[in-house]
Amino acid sequence: MKINCLAIDDEPLALKQIGSYIERTPFLELVSLCSSAVEAMKYLVDDKIDLMFVDINMPDLSGMEFVQSLGKKPQVVFTTAYSEYAIQGFQVDALDYLLKPISYAVFLKSANKVKAWFELKNRPLDNQQASQDYLFVKSDYKLIRIMLSDISYIESSNEYITIHQTLEKPVTTLMRLKSMEEQLPEKLFMRVHRSFIVNLEKVKVIERNRIVFDAKTYIPIGDQYKEKFQQFVDKSFPV
């Protein structure tokens, strides 16, 4: 598998360095080096780009503004000298965020993470579903493995989500609920409210249009999700 890449940076030395790193990495293919976001746009039209290494702090059109302006966009790894942009990077679902100066060891670690993402995405569906019994999330500068079977429900608050588990403590991570929803198998998880996803296997009691997990936990069922959830209820709780 080859991952087609663009490198975008207005600093010539930084751009040359990222380009050399891409060329040294066997599973990455450098399509072009671009000194601005505007220059990069033509490659998104003419070529199949899988991944962009994008500097955030660029004149005219910043890397963040560029990525936010795109409709269907490649995966993104941000590069910058400013750590305060990290949260914004994850808000636009970047795969990673590299703080300059970037060593090849740090770059390769990020590239391997990207490779694992593409391998999972391109895995045949049956195999993917069979192997998807856990996920990794970032929390407090750590990667935490969470078993899908241990998730009770997932709650959204602003730009963060909290994963509530039956056997472990809740885990909070910077991520949009929609992004988490896309990672979860549809047969096991369902979004029932704009702020909640539930593990269907944990649904035992439904009362007054709410899912009851315990004496203190009631998950509301939003109007736009009622029909789909009712189909699940009719199938799972026949009268």
Looking at the chain, the whole-number percentage of residues with pLDDT higher than 70 is 88
Say which amino acid occupies 82: Y
Tens-place pLDDT, residues 1-58: 799 999 999 999 999 999 999 999 999 999 999 999 999 988 988 678 999 999 988 8
Q: Are 78 and 56 in contact (CB under 8 A)?
A: yes
Please, where in the chain does CATH 3.40.50.2300 lie?
3-122
Please, where in the chain does CATH 2.40.50.1020 lie?
126-236
Bigger pLDDT: 168 vs 1? 168
With CA atoms as reference, report the closest residue to 153 among 190, 204, 207, 194: 190
pLDDT of residue 126 exceeding 80, the answer is no
With CA atoms as reference, report the closest residue to 45 among 73, 68, 19, 65: 73
**Residues whose CB falls within 8 Å of the CB of residue 192, separated by 6 or more in sequence, listed in order:** 198, 211, 219, 220, 221, 222, 225, 229
Length of the chain counted residue by residue: 239
What number does CATH give the domain 3-122?
3.40.50.2300
Question: What's phi and psi for 125, nearest 5 deg?
Answer: -55, -45
pLDDT of residue 129 exceeding 50, the answer is no
**CATH of range 126-236; options 2.40.50.1020, 3.90.1300.10, 3.20.19.10, 3.40.1280.10:** 2.40.50.1020
- Please give the span between the terminal C-alpha atoms of the chain, in angstroms, as a whole number: 51
User: Average per-residue pLDDT in the chain?
Assistant: 86
User: From residue 115, how far is each of 30, 38, 139, 153 by CA, in Å?
Assistant: 15, 27, 21, 29
